[in-house]
Structure 1
C-alpha cells in the first residue's frame, strides 16, 4: 500500500511539472513489481536456519549424564557445532542450516555413541536421544586414519590366525592327553609338542609337556619346562605343585618344599594337598620327622584329610616318644578312611602299638 501511494504521488508531480506522463508511469510500475518480487523470493535468515537438534543423554540405569559433550558435524558440507548436556542430561542446539549431520556424544567413564544421517527440518525439531554404556573413550570407526584402520585390520587377521591355531592346538592337546592316560607318554609328548607349535608359550601345553618329559625320565628337561610355564603364569598354584612333585622325584626335597609352600600360598583351598605332597616327598627322602610336620600342616588345613592321618601315623609309629600321637592318627583314619586295605593295616598297627604305649 505504501509503495502504491509513492507511485501515485510521483505521478501527480509529473503531471504538475510536465513531461511524458504515460512513459514514466510504466517505468514506475515495472520498478515496483521488481521490488515486490525480491521481497517474495529472499527469505529472512531467521526463517532459513531455524532448525533444532536436541535430545537427552542417559546411562543404562536411566540416570541423566550431565556435562556430556555433544558434537554435531555436517557430513555433506563441513560444519561443526558443540554443546554440553545440562543437569537433566539434555542438550539443545538451534540455528542449524539445511543439510545432513552426524551427532556424536562423549562423557567421562562411558563409551562414545553416535547417530548418523540426521536431516533437521524447519517444521519439526530433530530429537536424538542417547543411552551410553560404561567404558572408556575411543575413536569411532569414521574417526580412524587410514594407517589406524590398516593396523586394526592386521590385528584382526592375526587374532583370526591365533584363534585357528588355538583350535588346532586343543585338538592335539586332547589327543596327547588320551595317549598319556594309556601310558604312552613318548607318543603323548610328540602330540603336545605339535600343540605348542600351534600355540607357542601356552602354559597349559607346557605343563603337559613337562609331565610327559617327567614320565619318560627326562627330569631336567621337565623341570626347565615347568619353570618356563611358571614364568608365563606365575599365579598358577598347580604348576608349583607339579614342579614340587618333580623336585621330590629328583631328590631335591628343599626345593620341593619351597614349591609346595608357594602353591599353598597362592591357593589356600588346596593347601592341605600341597602339604601332603610335601610330606610324601620328605618320606621318600628318609626325613620322617619333617614329613610328620608336613602331614600335621595338611591336617590343620583340612581336618578331614584321611590320607594325612594315615601317613602321619606311619611316620610316628617308629619312635617310642611319638607312639601316642601315632595311635590317635591311626584311629582317626579307621573312622574316616576309605581304603579298606589301609584301614586293615592301620588296625594291625594299632594293635601292635597299644602295648608299647602302655609301657612306662
Structure 2
C-alpha cells in the first residue's frame, strides 16, 4: 500500500476507498482531515481508515510529518459514536477478567491471521474495535513520522485518547476537551497512561470524574496541549510547524521519538491490554447499557453529542443512577 494510492483512492478492489478522511500533501507534510459529518463521531470505519493511513505513512519515507485535524467545520473528533458503543454492549457477553483477557488475546490473534471480517460480523465486533484502536494508537506512537493533532473543536473520549498518542497537540481557542467515560459507566479504552503522564495522576482522575468540557486554555495549563491559537490561525500554525519539523533529519527524529517514548511508555502494550480488559468487563453491565440508552434518548433532532448539548446531568451524575437496578 502506498500513500499515493490512498491519495487517489485507487486501491485494488479488495481495499475500499477511504470514507471518512480527506488527504492533502505539501512536500514532506501530509494533512489528514477527519470527515464524518455532521458531528465527527469516531466509528469503526474511521478507525479502519486511520489505521490504513498510519501503515501507509510508515511505508513512505518521504513523509516526515502528519497533521491530523477535523475536516468538518468546528469539529475534531467529538468522541466514540454512542450508538456503536450501545450495540457492542448489548451484543457482548458479561465476562470475568480472566475470560476477558483470553478473549481479547484470541480476537487479536484472529485479526492477525486475516479473519477480521469474520469477527466483524460476529458478537465479538466490539472486542475487535478495541483491538483495532490499540493498533491505531500504537501505530501513531511508534511511527517514524511526527504526528501533530490540530484540534479545532470538541475533542473527547476516543478522539482525546487518540490525540494524546500524537507527538504534539495544537488547539484552537474554541476547542474543548472532555473525558466523559465515567459518566456513562465506562473506563478509557486506550489513553489513560499517556493522559496521566501529560497532566499528572491527580488532574487526570479529576478530569475523568468531572466529565465536563475543559477550555483550550485549561487544557494548556494542565499540560494537555502545547499551543493555543485563534481558530482562524490553527491550520496555518500547524502547517508552518509541520513544515519546519519536516526539515529535521528523519532518521534522527525517529530515533529521538523512540527514546522519549520509552521513557514513559515502556510496557504500553501491557497497559493497553488492561484497559481493553476493563472495557470488556465494564461495557456489558446493566448500568452502562442504561446510561448509553439514556444518552441516545437525550439527543436533539440533529443528533449532536449530548455531552455538548445537555452536559449538566452527565457532569453532575444525575442522568443515570448506577447504584440502583435499571428499570
* Class of the TM-score when normalised by the shorter of the 2 chains: under 0.3
Structure (1 or 2) with the greater helix fraction: 1
Which is greater in Rg?
1
Q: TM-score, normalised by structure 1?
A: 0.25
